[in-house]
A and B are shown apart, each in its own frame.
Chain A
């Protein structure tokens, strides 16, 4: 398989290294603005690309004609890349949607998953677009399907994330803009079969995670999973909450209006607080080697409740990814968020030859055999713990 990764940032660079190690991957082309010229290292190749320049992008694709393109750059490029992939009949994968409000007021979900606009084209061209395929969204979606397949009828699905950095001091795991966007975005919940936009950081509750975390305060966050799952799995309620030891500072920025996109006037100048704060915030990059981050870890729980053969039951999966200190030993220059994301993306990418479905699909639409392959890959990854519990 010849894979082109667009974007050589925090996730793209780690994903490239992970794919490079795979025997079935013949070549990995990493394309990014940061590469001045084309360079080859064994089966790895670095090329310059400017995703803003459509004709240059098309020329690069035509020259390399990969079997799969993975967008590890900003989601705002999804549509342009999808367009080219459909035209050139190349399989596509990404890790997030733009998650913009849907201009169609009759749409079921107030947020749009823009990749679905290309579903018909992809089907007609007999190519696959596997979207939202990182860790969250991505692996979480897959586990929701794993849980719900065991039920005859689904009532509630809860996705609970752990973003434990080991410090309440402010830091930026990869991009300031993405972080501010995440803080400012209003979460979506699916309640009684309907989508509802709620306030950020609302719905606070104590959630009891399996050991070693135990009871933690979680609150609603804006995540893509909710934009696809209700369209592929019949359920009544779905929400996504997060435990984050940086929540106080994120909440603080939100409550003070510092991440608002509504313009204010200072000295007759119209200012978007969001844009200004993006310039003010220090570039506190996450230093993987800093001992204060050694315990940093990402994990998630997916809990589904419903009826099995007329009886009520709850099933929970808990997936724990390696701690920062364990990730450091892998020599990937990855952090506790970029590694699980890149690792999950790698597993989805490796599964693509096995996927028979065509068109645009999220991970919860993968069939049992493909999921089994991904889960077995996850299971045999060092320091990744997958735990299944029957709660009731």
Chain B
């Protein structure tokens, strides 16, 4: 029981961490609240399923191809829609929700109501501490860890990362220093979509796919990102740990837990925010401070 909770908890945390860092990155750098973020996760999961079962590609290949396709879609949407309305904060909120609904309904038209799951990358399991952990779960965890480390290296060890952080701190000054801010926005949006797509591709064999699978993770990553402090990658990962484990505990220990799992997670977020209004690692920007 305990081991199960631990394994499932780590899985949930990993997925939420991937999604939340991308969401936090786009908000921190481009000041876009992308409520369609988890829609990309759903799209990637469905692509993985399609390539694996309909086109008959091998599972790792279909995951890669679907991530690539999702990034292309994401960049296209950024160029076509979000780039033009970036200045209108509330309009961005609405357009991204509407885009998520476009994805949801398109997938519904193609796949219908049936819930599906993609084939696993490798079958079999590994016995540890008396519980069976399937290799699929291990691969998922490894992918999440590698991607998060890669993101950290990208942000703190490359020139692009320095430019990204500079834009996040002060757009005007970064622009004066010769950084092409629009290109940075585009790249960051691409990276965030890639993170969501990777999360979608690795969960496709584990979770059942349905067209409303973007709503619950969206609520959770909003809570996680606010809990950890907006624009803070470290905070997002820590927030994912807290809320991911809280959710797993509630689902496995409380009777009828899956009904109230969101309510419990969100209550934790509210309590933390009442104590610390800028989140655990939030940065109060100079001109935004109250």
Check if A and B associate: no
